[in-house]
Structure 1
Amino acid sequence: MEEKMKDWEGKKVCVTGAAGFVASWLVKRLLLSGYRVIGTVRDPDDEKKVGHLLRLEGARERLQLVRADLMEEGSFDNAILGCHGVFHLASPVLGQPKSDPKAEILQPAIDGTLNVLRSCKKNPWLRRVVLTSSSSTVRIRDDLLPGVPLDESSWSSEELCENLKIWYPLSKTLAEKAAWKFCEDNGIDLVTLIPSFVVGPSLPPVLSSTASDVLGLLKGEREKFEFHGRMGYVHIDDVALSHILVYEKENARGRYLCTSTVLDIDELAAKLAPRYPALPIPKTFKKVERPHYDFDVSKIKGLGMRFRSIEEMFDDCVHFFTMQALLSPLSQPSS
């Protein structure tokens, strides 16, 4: 038993925002890989929010849920102390600003990230931090060149985000930049993972806005996806596996784009409609003028990552929604 405990201590990691859509899958994959996981949540006693985590394989032996709040400085100290790795996925709840977007959206995103990193700085056992960013930190630009895919060196234009009043991309961009500066100043080994739009089954019982958008598309609610225009897509399990990959690989450095396929919404519908003929997937969408872009994911593939196809990720989604009785039993993909 003592040897097992030593092994667990050597693979002890913290996952912030553990009950979230992506974080839940990461916790699942970490437990299956033998890690001991400290998961931070807003309320560890809320069965509706955290029950799905406690039922994961290995949770009884190797998962501990603790309370932490991004807006409380020092709130993550106890959760992170003694961990060799920290996966920071928690994000403040962001809506449309009522009056001051900088105070209501941008500053909380930056402060929340820095609060977690200040706790990391206090932990002498820390090996690496993996921060979950977003492809919106890369693709919001007005200088895209035809035939030149975006890579990890690309950053979204802060000025363009502010002019367009798209606060989520700006908040993620500023938070990631703040994280890089803090970690460089304090000698923390940071890697950032940059997923595109995440598709896949939901472990939490309440669907995230992302999962709800996918369900809406499959049910024919055109407006749920109309605003997407051109978008990268990635399977949720591949995102979880990518987190672990960039944490474990000693030679992992810097930022890593994480996406399988980039498609216009009309291209996506053209693939999905004939595959699921029983579903009312829209075949046409209101034209959204978005720049054409692609992603170069050779960096993460160089670590050994292989992504599932768009068909696989939506097959898993359709199967999940069907099993949850959110779609008709006739909605399985055609052969």
Structure 2
Amino acid sequence: MANTTKGRVCVTGASGFVASWLVKRLLESGYHVLGTVRDPGNHKKVGHLWNLAGAKERLELVRADLLEEGSFDDAVMACEGVFHTASPVITETDSNKATILDSAINGTLNVLRSCKKNPSLKRVVLTSSSSTVRLKDEADLPPNASLDETSWSSMEFCESLQIWYAIAKTLAEKAAWEFAKENGIDLVAVLPTFVVGPNLSHELSPTSTDVLGLFQGETTKFTVYGRMGYVHIDDVAICHILAYETARAAGRYICNSAVLDVNELLALLARRFPSYPIPKSLPCVYGEQTYDFSTAKVRELGMMKFRDVEEMFDDAVESLRAHGHLLSRSSSP
């Protein structure tokens, strides 16, 4: 394949919701992308990546598994930068805490162990989550708090509500920071809020499935979300690339457009999409919260504007319709 001026980068879990958009943006920017997937020959899972502009010239897909130590060695050794977006799928019904945490932490460390072996590696960008920041009890979350990158979720609070996803993401990120410090790896973390937008793949991610559920009248999934930040998937991809390309980037970066209570979101969607059976209201297991997120740090990288909530859900609905997951309704945009 032809050489490019921007070099070669690895994207782990390349067929995922966020990773696919990252691959798209990296190819458009002129990078040669080496994507890791569990089965490069599974066209149902990876076919959408080959449809991206520049894929035939500058995309390679190779096999790697998060839980197989050393399986990322070849991919990482061939690249100057690594975007670690792959993550074990964790759902609210998963109850084996030890298995969940072991998969998340060891999966991240397996990738970083491969990164340690590459002396030419410039930077690793880790996809973490705002769930590592925002989940606290009332005593640790004062009214109208502005949460920034110095904030960490309370593991005791998360465990009391069995929020395994947040625990797994928090412990995995902390393990990554410790490993990077001990081994001299230049690590930067991007912390997206709830990611909304169009799917490049026909198969839906867990977050896209939850969004689809709202438009079908589902009343269980968003109950646990409560007050939450929302961000367009394309903005998340752009933030990752800024974190990689900006030499002064360091530490954690919250990636967020707006913070809404779940019932504020439902009211907004009901006005915008009146023909769908969107629930009128949902309870919140966390109680009443008033926090917001500070995005001052990521804006210093040049991310000056985020798409608004209306645009991200417009794009998500259009995509769900295009893929046949959601029927069109004449009175909706």
Compute the TM-score of the two structures, normalised by the length of structure 2.
0.94
Structure 1 position 147, deviation (Å) = 2.4
Higher deviation after alignment, 142-151 or 62-71: 142-151
Q: Within 1, Cα distance between the matches of 2:20 and 2:219?
A: 28
Q: Within 1, Cα distance between the matches of 2:327 and 2:67?
A: 42
Counterpart of 2:193, as a letter, is S
Counterpart of 1:327, as a letter, is L
Q: Within 1, Cα distance between the matches of 2:7 and 2:252?
A: 23
Counterpart of 1:190, as a letter, is L
Q: Within 1, Cα distance between the matches of 2:152 and 2:49?
A: 34
Higher deviation after alignment, 19-28 or 269-278: 269-278
Q: Within 2, Cα distance between the matches of 1:253 and 1:295?
A: 18
Residue 32, structure 1, aligned to residue 28, structure 2:
yes
Residue 73, structure 1, aligned to residue 69, structure 2:
yes
Compute the TM-score of the two structures, normalised by the length of structure 1.
0.94
Q: Which residue of structure 1 aligns with residue 315 of structure 2? A: 316
Residue 16, structure 1, aligned to residue 15, structure 2:
no
CA contact (8 A) 1:318 1:332 kept: no
Pick from 276, 280, 291: which aligns with 1:279? 276
CA contact (8 A) 2:148 2:293 kept: yes
Q: Within 2, Cα distance between the matches of 1:68 and 1:332?
A: 45
CA contact (8 A) 2:82 2:125 kept: yes
Secondary structure in structure 2 of the residue aligned to 1:319: helix
Q: Within 2, Cα distance between the matches of 1:120 and 1:290?
A: 42
Q: How does 1:116-131 map to 2 (within 5 A)?
A: 116-131=111-126
Pick from 141, 145, 148: which aligns with 1:148? 145
Residue 42, structure 1, aligned to residue 41, structure 2:
no
Structure 1 position 112, deviation (Å) = 0.7
CA contact (8 A) 1:315 1:333 kept: no
Structure 1 position 287, deviation (Å) = 4.7
Counterpart of 1:242, as a letter, is C
Residue 113, structure 1, aligned to residue 112, structure 2:
no
Secondary structure in structure 1 of the residue aligned to 2:146: coil
Pick from 171, 192, 197: which aligns with 2:194? 197
Write the deviation string for residues 84-118 of structure 1: whole angstroms up to 9, x where unpaired: 110001112335455x512x111221111111001
Counterpart of 1:141, as a letter, is K
Secondary structure in structure 2 of the residue aligned to 1:240: helix
Structure 1 position 331, deviation (Å) = 5.1
Residue 186, structure 1, aligned to residue 183, structure 2:
yes
Q: Gapped runs of 5+ residues in structure 2?
A: none
CA contact (8 A) 2:90 2:164 kept: no
Q: Which residue of structure 2 aligns with residue 250 of structure 1? A: 247
Amino-acid identity (%): 62
Structure 1 position 333, deviation (Å) = 4.4
Q: Within 1, Cα distance between the matches of 2:284 and 2:86?
A: 33
Counterpart of 1:133, as a letter, is S
Write the deviation string for residues 145-202 of structure 1: whole angstroms up to 9, x where unpaired: 1122110000111222223322111111111001001111111100000001000111
Pick from 70, 88, 91: which aligns with 2:87? 91
Q: Which residue of structure 1 aligns with residue 208 of structure 2? A: 211
Counterpart of 1:47, as a letter, is H
Q: Within 1, Cα distance between the matches of 2:331 and 2:324?
A: 12
Q: Within 2, Cα distance between the matches of 1:332 and 1:324?
A: 19
User: Which portions of structure 1, spanning 4 or more consecutive aligned residues, are displaced by more than 3 angstroms?
Assistant: 93-98, 331-334
Secondary structure in structure 1 of the residue aligned to 2:36: strand
Higher deviation after alignment, 51-60 or 286-295: 286-295
Structure 1 position 285, deviation (Å) = 2.1
Write the deviation string for residues 114-153 of structure 1: whole angstroms up to 9, x where unpaired: 1100100111211000000011100111211112211000
Q: Within 2, Cα distance between the matches of 1:25 and 1:108?
A: 24
Secondary structure in structure 2 of the residue aligned to 1:52: helix
Residue 82, structure 1, aligned to residue 49, structure 2:
no
Structure 1 position 54, deviation (Å) = 1.1
Q: Within 2, Cα distance between the matches of 1:243 and 1:299?
A: 13
Q: Within 2, Cα distance between the matches of 1:138 and 1:229?
A: 15
